[in-house]
Amino acid sequence: MTPMTFMGHPRGLATLFFTEMWERLSYYGMRGLLILFLVDTLRGGYGLDDKTAAAIYGLYTASVYLLAVPGGWLADRILGQRTAVFWGGVLIACGHFSMAVGPVALFYLGLTLIALGTGLLKPNVSAMVGDLYPEGGARRDAGFSVFYMGINLGATIGPLLCSYFGEKINWHLGFAVAGVGMVFGLIQYRLGARHLGTAGELRGVTPAQRSAAISTAGKFGLFVLALGGVVAALHLMGIYLVNPQGIASVMSVSIPFFLLAYFAYQFLFGGFDAAEKKRLAVVLILCAASAVFWGGYEQAGSSLNLFAMRATDLFIFGYEIPAGWIQSLPAVFVILLAPVFGWLWIKLEKHEPSVPAKFAYGLAQLALSFFVMAWAGTFVTQAFKVSIMWLVVTNFLATTGELCLSPVGLSGMTKLAPRKIVGQMMGMWFLATSLGNLLAGMAAGYTEALGYVQLFSLVGAVVMGAAVLLGITAPPIRKLMGGVE
């Protein structure tokens, strides 16, 4: 009997494809509503000021990626990826339903549950895709390309559904739809589990190692609880009032500090030879560039979402589309353009740009997308909203940038990192993404104070600065890579 296949791939890929599709549907669906709901004063939103709303958006999206670090660790040492993905999905669904219910406390509990659940699900479902191809190589790469389509299919449909229900009918209904999506994902994951073979099972961990890991996790959990307790006590005593902006500022300093300290430690005490140290330096540069990139790109859900709602004429053939529908555009463009870029790199053959050069191109295109938005901003007045085409062009440029940078980023980590710390390097990449998301939130807090033109030109200038710096230094950075392409 021939084994069942999915587009020429192991049938298990279909299971993981649809699990991730539903998860991303719920993630991007809810994210499209989040900041709009937080600032809304007319339809039962929380009516927060831009700065607070943006800080909450940034903290939430940053936490999602930050928690992927412990999520990957828990799966590798204690749970196994397969179990981690399931319980991650359960937490996510509970989170969305908690937000759907209404009261403020349940809303924030919901955000926390989704961040915890995504931390468990997202890194591990990707690791399981890799597990389906023990032989690695080109077939695994092709498997990841198919999987990437699943991500973006979910990211296309999510905002279409949730923003319709959330913006047109009721915010909380939108959150509930995201939860229903995740439930479909869970049912599908359970039913399709039989196709996964041994992928994602806990392997290579002895019972003694597992118990040691459980005890470490327990201690870490207690430490986090104690820290939370101290902060809560300081808040109650009025010594430090907990507020989203304050926490976001603390995180925006502590994440880069931690990243730098980690690299410095590996550099000095990791016991690596000169060639490995050079590649380690490249990894650090790429992580920094990635944080800048996502800091701009992820404003799709924050400042650009506010721009769509407040300053864009959303009527198409007489129907006013929900602002969140614009959120689907990057995902649509990824689906349409990913094959084109794949083809382009092959076509360019030996002229294919180096990894740092691709990063520089990616950043430059993102910078252009912000200059386009700054230009659009010059036309906005109290009485005039601009055409939706501005956001279409902006999203197009941001996506072409993403396709230069994001696919090579993760694979670059695996190739450049010294073998014994590959897992930790993935963690650092997630940490850089987390920082980017945080900055993307915090930047949106300045929409009111700076105005669109100033904010978007400032972001564009910073990103362009990074692009130019990386572009100029790409040849020496390539040398540091020592033959890794």
Write the binding mask 2 to 31 for ligand GLN: x where contact by CB under 6 A, - elsewhere.
----------------------x-------
What one-character-per-residue DSSP string does 157-204 give? Answer: HHHHHHHIIIIII-HHHHHHHHHHHHHHHHHHHHHHGGGGTTTT---S
Q: Give the residue from 181, 60, 164 showing the smallest Cα distance to 114.
A: 60
**How far apart are the C-alpha atoms of 413 and 138, rounded to whole Å?**
17
- Which CB sits closer to ligand GLN, 434 or 447? 434
What one-character-per-residue DSSP string does 355-383 give? Answer: HHHHHHHHHHHHHHHHHHHHHHHHH--SS
In sequence order, which residues have a C-beta less than 8 Å from that of residue 371 and are 6 or more positions away?
456, 457, 460, 464
Residue whose tokens read 């699990």: 19
Pairing of strands 5-6, 319-320: unpaired
**How far apart are the C-alpha atoms of 199 and 209, rounded to whole Å?**
21
Do residues 55 and 225 make contact, with C-beta atoms less than 8 angstroms apart? no
Q: Maximum distance among all alpha carbons in the chain? A: 70
Q: Give the residue from 465, 457, 462 showing the smallest Cα distance to 374.
A: 457
Does 433 bind ligand GLN (CB under 6 A)? Our answer is yes
- Count of chain residues binding ligand GLN (CB under 6 A): 4
Q: Give the residue from 47, 51, 29 showing the smallest Cα distance to 37.
A: 47
Does 151 bind ligand GLN (CB under 6 A)? Our answer is yes
Which amino acid is present at 100?
A
Pairing of strands 315-316, 319-320: antiparallel
Does 294 bind ligand GLN (CB under 6 A)? Our answer is yes
**Nearest approach, Cβ of residue 126 and ligand GLN (Å):** 9
Pairing of strands 5-6, 315-316: unpaired
Does 287 bind ligand GLN (CB under 6 A)? Our answer is no
**How far apart are the C-alpha atoms of 270 and 418, rounded to whole Å?**
10
- Which CB sits closer to ligand GLN, 45 or 256? 256
Does 293 bind ligand GLN (CB under 6 A)? Our answer is no
Does 57 bind ligand GLN (CB under 6 A)? Our answer is no
Q: Which residues of 214-252 are buried (b: 16+ CB within 10 A; e: fewer)?
A: eeebeeeeeeeeeeeeeeeeeeeeeeeeeebbebbeebb
**Nearest approach, Cβ of residue 151 and ligand GLN (Å):** 5
Residue 106, exposed/middle/buried by CB under 10 A (0-12, 13-18, 19+)?
Answer: middle
Does 399 bind ligand GLN (CB under 6 A)? Our answer is no
- Which CB sits closer to ligand GLN, 56 or 151? 151
Do residues 325 and 388 make contact, with C-beta atoms less than 8 angstroms apart? no
- Which CB sits closer to ligand GLN, 149 or 186? 149
What angle separates helix 422-444 from helix 303-311, to the nearest 10 degrees? 30
Alpha helices in 274-388 (DSSP H): 274-297, 303-311, 328-348, 355-379
48: number of Cβ within 10 Å: 18
**Nearest approach, Cβ of residue 418 and ligand GLN (Å):** 23
Footprint on this chain of ligand GLN (rule: CB under 6 A): 24, 151, 294, 433
